[in-house]
Amino acid sequence: MSVVLHLTLVAGGPSAPDQRARSLSEGILRIGREPDNDWVLEDEARLISRHHCTITAQAGLFTLIDTSNNGVFVNDGERPLGRGNSVILSAGDRLHLGELTLEAAMTSRLDETDAFAALLPPSAAPDRFGMVPADTSAQRIPPLVQAPASPKAAAPPSLMAPIRRSSSSLFDGLDGSGTGESAPAGRLGDWQPD
């Protein structure tokens, strides 16, 4: 899935609908007065710089870089971001460029090259605009059925019998000087507990 940034001019600026919004999913979007920008914003008051700001998109993150002389104000901030400074954009952010205000919105769209796209339920399939519905709660996956608990396997009685020692020290009988009994000579498997 890829994330798409939608910028909409919500205050000031041109009235032509094709000049009021831009979208970006990957790459760079340059905004300013000069015709070499991706989004040219006319500004008679000349508060918008020739190259006012740049937005880069990479892996679903959108970074705004202030390239202006007059500054970009983010979310009604008292101070401009400042030339050369950057900020990561979030949905709902408002960007003030001179007398213009842009609002950021973000949507997800299904990437056709995504290997996991086939795992999505049918209700999450993209519509004709490539948008995935936000609410897929109508199709809930049923809860997993728990298998009945298996009875605990009983250990063989010989393994559960306590080991009894008759000597008082762990090392009694190893050197022959102890008073306790030592294990009889032979194989370990031949020894039986008391």
Query: How would residue 60 be classed by pLDDT, with cut points 50, 70 and 90?
Result: confident
Domains of the chain (ranges plus CATH)?
2-111 (2.60.200.20)
What pLDDT, on the 0 to 100 scale, is given for residue 34?
A: 93
Mean pLDDT, residues 176-194: 58
- Banded pLDDT at 167 (limits 50, 70, 90): low
Kindly tell me if the per-residue pLDDT of 17 is higher than 70.
no
pLDDT surpasses 60 at 184: no
Mean pLDDT of 67-71: 92
Specify whether the CB–CB gap between 38 and 29 falls below 8 A.
yes
pLDDT of amino acid 42: 85
- DSSP E strand stretches across 12-158: 21-24, 27-32, 39-40, 53-58, 61-66, 73-74, 86-88, 94-97, 100-109
Q: How many CB atoms lie within 10 A of CB 29?
A: 19
139: confidence class by pLDDT, cuts 50, 70, 90 = very low
